[in-house]
Amino acid sequence: MEFNWEVLLRPESLIALGTLTLLEIILGIDNILFISIISERLPVEQRPKARVTGLALALIFRLLLLMMISWLVHFTDPLFTLFEIPFSGRDLILLGGGIFLLVKTISEIHGKLEGEYENEASEKKKPSFASTLVQIVLIDIVFSFDSILTAVGLSNHLEIMITAVVISMSLMMVYSRHISIFINRRPTLKMLALCFLIMIGALLVAEAFDVHVPKATVYFGMVFALLVEFLNQKMRKKAKPIKLRGPLNDEINNMD
């Protein structure tokens, strides 16, 4: 396989590279959210290693898939039909990944609501580094297929696709720690991130059944929800405790 890296110097290639890099970062947000949340259950000293290793594996998967691009194109060919719906290898991976993401995320939400992680007995249930890495690898594979198929649809030059993937994943490695800390310090934002992952899991399952939901609409909804949450947090910071005065206050104080 020959590469012509000079193609990157063309003006139209730079525009394509910038667009594809931005899109890869947006698509990678799902991945980094999952890695940030799943690595939180590890001991503090192991979390940075889990995040960096997970994103490094995601980069390797994406590059390997790009090298097998001719095989990947045929990976969307139907393997069998069920209830008049054709299923390809990509569909099966999306279906398995979507179900895995739904089960894992719902389990995380249940644990938060039940106070599982704050309970001393939960120390025994903490996963090992190896099991956490396995979960990260599984979801990396799913998101890698989605990411590379999107890249293939936007560019015909392998050089541009490889460069965009390397730049986007490198940026995510640099900022993964900051994103993880930012999310995990804000319980309401973390719950919102978990709800986003449920939505992504449902979308993956829908895609597997050939139900296509416009991703632009989904991501717009996510951005809007984040904006509302940021405004709520800003309002909570500025809010002062309200002191009740007059008869209403006396009534509350005398309730006992």
User: pLDDT tens digit string along 98-116?
Assistant: 888 888 888 888 877 776 5
Longest dimension (CA), the chain: 83
The total of other beta-carbon atoms located within 10 Å of residue 79's CB is 12
Plot region of 197 (φ>0 → left; ψ -120 to 50 → alpha; else → beta)? alpha
Mean pLDDT, the chain, integer = 76
Percent of the chain with pLDDT over 90: 0
Residue 77 pLDDT: 74
pTM of the model: 0.69
Q: What is the mean pLDDT of residues 27-56?
A: 83
Mean pLDDT of 195-204: 85
Structure tokens at 51: 């995040």
Region 192-213 average pLDDT = 83
78 burial class (0-12, 13-18, 19+ CB within 10 angstroms)? exposed
Q: Residue 185 pLDDT > 70, yes or no? A: yes
When pLDDT is averaged across residues 22-38 and rounded to a whole number, the result is 80
Q: What is the pLDDT of residue 248?
A: 43
Give, in order, the Cα–Cα distances in Å from 9 to each of 5, 6, 13, 114, 120.
8, 6, 7, 55, 57
The pLDDT of residue 227: 85
pLDDT cut 70: percent of the chain above it: 78
Supply the pLDDT for residue 141: 78
- Alpha-helix runs per DSSP H in 115-186: 129-154, 158-184
- DSSP H helices, 10-88, are 11-38, 47-67, 69-74
Q: Which tokens hold the place of 140? A: 């990396």
Q: Which two tokens stand for residue 133?
A: 């890495």
Q: Are 28 and 172 in contact (CB under 8 A)?
A: yes
Give the per-residue pLDDT at 72.
66
| Alpha-carbon separation of residue 37 from 41, 98, 184 (angstroms) | 8, 17, 8
Domain range list for the chain = 5-218
Say yes or no to pLDDT of 38 above 80: yes
Please count the residues of the chain.
Answer: 256
- Over residues 14-29, the mean pLDDT reads 79
126-162 pLDDT per residue, tens: 678 888 888 888 887 777 777 776 666 666 677 788 8
Distance CA 98, CA 205 (A): 5
